Amino acid sequence: MARTTRKTLFGTGIGFVVILVWCLLPVAWIVSLSFKSQAETNSGSPQFLPKTWTLQNYRDILSNSDFLYALRNSFGIAIIATVLSVIFATLAAYAIARLDFKGKRLVLSLALAIAMFPVVSLISPLFDMWRTFHLFNTWPGLIIPYMTFTLPLAIWTLSAFFREIPWEMEQAAQVDGATPWQAFRKVIVPLAAPGVFTAAILTFFFAWNEFALAISLTSTTQARTVPAQMSFFVGGDPFNPPYGQLATASVIVTIPIVIIVLLFQRKIVAGLTSGAVKG
Amino acid sequence: MASITMNHIVKKYGDGFPAVNDVSIDVADGEFMILVGPSGCGKSTLLRMIVGLEDITSGDMLIGERRVNDLAPRDRNLAMVFQNYALYPHLTVFENIAFPLRLAGASEQEIEEKVRAASDTLELNEHLDRKPSNLSGGQRQRVAMGRAIVRNADAFLFDEPLSNLDAKLRGQMRTEISRLQKRLGITTVYVTHDQIEAMTLGDRVAVLKRGVLQQLATPRELYDHPANLFVAGFIGSPPMNFMPATVEGTTLKLPFGEVELPEAKAQAAAGKGLLIAGIRPESFAEASAPHARDVSEANTFDATVDVVEWLGNETYAYIPFEAPPEVQNQLTQLEQELDGEVVRTQLVITLDGSSEVREGDRVKIWMDAEKVHLFDPASTENLTLDLGRAGRIPDREQTD
């Protein structure tokens, strides 16, 4: 028994190391790149750690007004898309979980179908439409398509969470004197909080990382987000792209994601409803 | 504080099946009313109609003088304890109990006072800052009750509140609920499938079967004067014995032998042919037992004991018998209605704990003929019923 356990532990350890290297090595490489000077990245024989550590890349990129605008756009668009998406998804998912209406399955399957639609196929029709509607190169011009892709996912996630909540919770609240809206707000939403956070994070990631729509539906720094802006970091010499700058930008846009995950990972842990009923 | 009046309440679901069929119950102000019956008898549905979680198909629901059929639950001012407690897991015990007060917009000071008072009553003081998930079953149960008593509700409604607790705790909480209700003197409707809870807690008990009210009476009336086979079989543990019987003159012929019936009972059953006799296990005694009263030779018979269960304070002796198919069918059906398993036809007799009877013994048994009930096998009605002492029986009212 003990032998098997030790063997299993050993195997698990190896597995972890392999996965860690696989996932984190590129990240480490990018971080390392961001601390190298332009001269070093363009030299023929690179090494993993910088020969001389420099913060020049960070100074450059944080004084690059285009990048700062893009960062502002990214934050604005991602946050607005997330908030709206979560609000609509919560209401829709609650209705789907609680009410028995005709075409419920149709709504759910349609939502899933929309989420699976290839983004690329929408780009050219959207481009034409948005120019007609004067939405081209605006924040709403990106927020709306982002929401169409994130809402279905959020609705599915949340309706699963709502279904888990015992209906008695809500009935108890109503007997205790709550209006349906109060019961929803004070009992159901707090109980579905892990679901809400999960949906919010998924939505935020999508909007934050999205590239195809961002590059096609914007033309200036008025609405261009960071992933799109980074594709303009080509430098003066086409044969020597500013790898350091690109790596630095990548590191900077990754930081918010890491912070968000660290902040909310405890909230995402499900099982908050334990103790509500006999268990 | 208020009375609750149900007038010809009907609940039909989408498929037209009546879960509750023409039930009329009046709960007096301050009364402890029990709704009891096997699963699927409509007792919970009825309770949920009182509180407003279930629509009423027809009939009137009155709380006090007010018709509440179309009022939302929050406008009925009733407090309910759910079967699985339905505590709010994201709130502390304090906030759980305070929840109805906060919704009502009470001041911080008032909330503090009332919650403290409730937690004093229920001995929850040391748990006020904990979350429900960290509480034991009994504590959760008390929190659920705290949430009910903290308000000035017109009535308490309990939906099988003790069914999730283990046996010992159930006994304790039963006493606790009884004490609380007596002290607060608040109108209470309590749903249970457990006949012990029904007998011990209720001022009056409403026995339901398949959505129909069978009998509404005090526990003692139900026990001594059951309206029909169903009530007789449901109330009492071990259950009442049923066996085939015929009456000739004043002689009752049973599978074991013959006993002399009192005049009144014999008359009520005269000329009805094959009957079902119902006798409670404690209406028997060993003829040789010193405390057996009035052991007249006429009411004794010999029987072979099949199984003996000794419980310390008393002994159950089982005596098998044969029943004709007519009676057997009725008893099988009854057993199904009572959620039971069928069934060998056997007599259960409660003997004294000091009894020396062993399995396989042939014993002389005495039977109290005063306590015999005779039921019509077709209608299942109790023919020997003293209507003046049996509470309300809707079936009999309609025929009058």
* Residue in A167, A174, A224, A210 with CA at minimum distance from that of residue A191: A167
> What band does B343 get if pLDDT is binned at 50, 70 and 90?
low
* Residues of A in Cβ contact (< 8 Å) with B88: 169, 172-173, 187, 191, 276
Q: Classify residue A19 as exposed, middle or buried by CB count within 10 Å of its CB (0-12, 13-18, 19+).
A: exposed
Q: How many CA atoms lie within 13 A of A147 on its CB side?
A: 18
Report yes or no: A84 at the B interface, CB cutoff 8 Å.
Answer: no
Q: Residue A54 carries which side chain, given as an amino acid letter?
A: T
* CB nearest B82 (choices: A168, A177, A272): A168
* Residues of B in Cβ contact (< 8 Å) with A174: 52-53, 72-74
* Residues of B in Cβ contact (< 8 Å) with A277: 84-87
Question: Nearest C-alpha of chain B: how many angstroms from A172?
Answer: 6
How many Cβ atoms from other residues are within 10 Å of residue B167's Cβ?
7
How many Cβ atoms from other residues are within 10 Å of residue A59's Cβ?
11
* Residues of A in Cβ contact (< 8 Å) with B137: 278
Asked if the Cβ–Cβ distance from A171 to B72 is below 8 Å, we say: no
Average pLDDT over residues B253-258: 84
C-alpha–C-alpha distance, residues B13 and A152, integer Å:
34
* Residues of A in Cβ contact (< 8 Å) with B72: 174, 179
- The DSSP annotation for B167-208 comes to HHHHHHHHHHHHHHHHHHT-EEEEEES-HHHHHHH-SEEEEE
Report yes or no: A137 at the B interface, CB cutoff 8 Å.
Answer: no
Q: Which residue is closest to A189 within chain B, CA to CA?
A: B90
pLDDT at residue number A102? 85
* Residues of B in Cβ contact (< 8 Å) with A278: 84-85, 137, 140, 164
pLDDT at residue number A118? 86
Average pLDDT over residues B13-40: 90
Residues in CB range of B360: below 8 A, 6 or more apart: B304, B305, B306
pLDDT at residue B339 greater than cutoff 80: no
What is the three-state SS of chain A?
Answer: CHHHHHHHHHHHHHHHHHHHHHHHHHHHHHHHHHCCCHHHHHCCCCCCCCCCCCCHHHHHHHCCHHHHHHHHHHHHHHHHHHHHHHHHHHHHHHHHHHCCCCCHHHHHHHHHHHHHCCCHHHHHHHHHHHHHCCCCCCHHHHHHHHHHHHHHHHHHHHHHHHHHCCHHHHHHHHHCCCCHHHHHHHHHHHHCHHHHHHHHHHHHHHHHHCCHHHHHCCCCCCCCCHHHHHCCCCCCCCCCCCHHHHHHHHHHHHHHHHHHHHHHHHHHCCCCCCCCCCC
Asked if the Cβ–Cβ distance from A171 to B133 is below 8 Å, we say: no
pLDDT at residue number B290? 60
ipTM of the shown complex: 0.79
pLDDT at residue number B364? 86
Domains and CATH numbers, chain B: 4-224 (3.40.50.300), 231-384 (2.40.50.140)
pLDDT at residue number B58? 92
Question: Nearest C-alpha of chain A: how many angstroms from B219?
Answer: 30
pLDDT 10s digits, B181-225: 888 899 999 999 888 899 999 999 999 999 999 999 999 999 999
Report yes or no: A165 at the B interface, CB cutoff 8 Å.
Answer: no
C-alpha–C-alpha distance, residues B166 and B30, integer Å:
29
Residues in CB range of A53: below 8 A, 6 or more apart: A35
Average pLDDT over residues B222-241: 89
Question: Nearest C-alpha of chain B: how many angstroms from A122?
Answer: 43
Fold of A64-268: MetI-like fold (1.10.3720)
pLDDT at residue B318 greater than cutoff 70: yes
Average pLDDT, chain B: 87
pLDDT 10s digits, B162-171: 888 888 888 8
* CB nearest A278 (choices: B52, B85, B151): B85
Selected residues 63-122 of chain B with any CB under 8 Å from a CB in chain A: 72-74, 78-80, 82, 84-90, 99-100, 103-104
* Residues of B in Cβ contact (< 8 Å) with A169: 86, 88
pLDDT at residue number B293? 56
Interface test with B, best of A168, A175, A197, A269 (most B CBs within 10 A): A175
* CB nearest A175 (choices: B51, B85, B135): B51
Asked if the Cβ–Cβ distance from B84 to A272 is below 8 Å, we say: no
Report yes or no: A176 at the B interface, CB cutoff 8 Å.
Answer: yes
* Residues of A in Cβ contact (< 8 Å) with B99: 173, 176, 186
Residues in CB range of B277: below 8 A, 6 or more apart: B242, B243, B244, B245, B252, B254, B372, B373, B374, B375
User: Of all residues in chain B, what percent carry a pLDDT higher than 90?
Assistant: 30
* CB nearest A168 (choices: B86, B133, B137): B86
Give the residues of chain A that fall short of pLDDT 70: 1-4, 44-45, 236, 266-279
**Residues B28/B34/B36/B39 CA torsion (nearest 10 deg):** 110
pLDDT at residue number A17? 92
pLDDT 10s digits, B132-160: 888 888 889 889 989 998 988 899 999 99
Q: Which residue is closest to A171 within chain B, CA to CA?
A: B53
Size of chain A, expressed as the number of residues it contains: 279
pLDDT at residue number A272? 43
* Residues of A in Cβ contact (< 8 Å) with B134: 275
Q: Which residue is closest to A194 within chain B, CA to CA?
A: B90
Question: Nearest C-alpha of chain B: how many angstroms from A90?
Answer: 18
